[in-house]
Amino acid sequence: MTLPFDKIMFKSALVVTAQWDFGLAIQKLLESNPEQWNRLRAEKAVLDYQRYMAVTKALGGIQLVPNADIDEIWHMHILDTRAYMKDCEALFGEFLHHYPYFGMLSEENQQEWLSVQAQSEQLWLSLFDQPLYSGDSVAQKCPQACPCHIEQLSLRGSSVIASEISKSA
């Protein structure tokens, strides 16, 4: 099934995510781990997380493999349960689940994760003209649509192909 990247949806999603308040999350990062986080890195991570969520919306809920900084902000957002629920409802119309085990289930699943990671990097570069993974911000094993049925993306030229990957036991 081909799912084109919806540029109009992406632009409107960026407007929605820009309204999300991460002031306390940034403060908590800076206070709890000052040797790893500074204000510039935290603000960049928040911006990238907002972009990540907008890309997810533009892809119809299909998620890229997030980098470590995006994943950290996502975890902080989830822990602020009321804000996360409200923000997901505003952007997606439903709760967006976070499944951290893609790439860990089997050797085949690891290879699928590596493929999706490469495709995520390609799409991110094409959208933002900067790498998704660099320095300390490596790929994390955390993309999914739901815990029991994972959807991922494949890029063929300029189109985005969704393939369903059944979770192996």
* 77 alpha carbon, distance to own chain's centre: 12
pTM value? Answer: 0.80
Top pLDDT among 22 and 159 is at 22
| Residue ranges per structural domain of the chain | 7-153
What are the phi and psi torsion angles at 142 (to 5°)? -140, 20
**The pLDDT value given to residue 5:** 87
pLDDT above 50 (res 144): no
Say whether 101 sits in a helix, a strand or coil: coil
Cα separation, 136 vs 91, whole angstroms: 29
Task: Render pLDDT for 120-134 as a digit per residue (tens, 0 to 9).
Answer: 999 999 999 999 998
Minimal CA–CA distance to 77: which of 15, 102, 69? 69
Confidence of residue 139 (pLDDT cuts 50, 70, 90): low
Task: Render pLDDT for 51-90 as a digit per residue (tens, 0 to 9).
Answer: 999 999 999 998 889 999 999 999 999 999 999 999 999 9
**The pLDDT value given to residue 136:** 56
Cα separation, 66 vs 56, whole angstroms: 11
**The pLDDT value given to residue 160:** 37
Determine if residue 72 is left, alpha or beta; phi over 0 gives left, psi from -120 to 50 gives alpha, anything else beta.
Answer: alpha
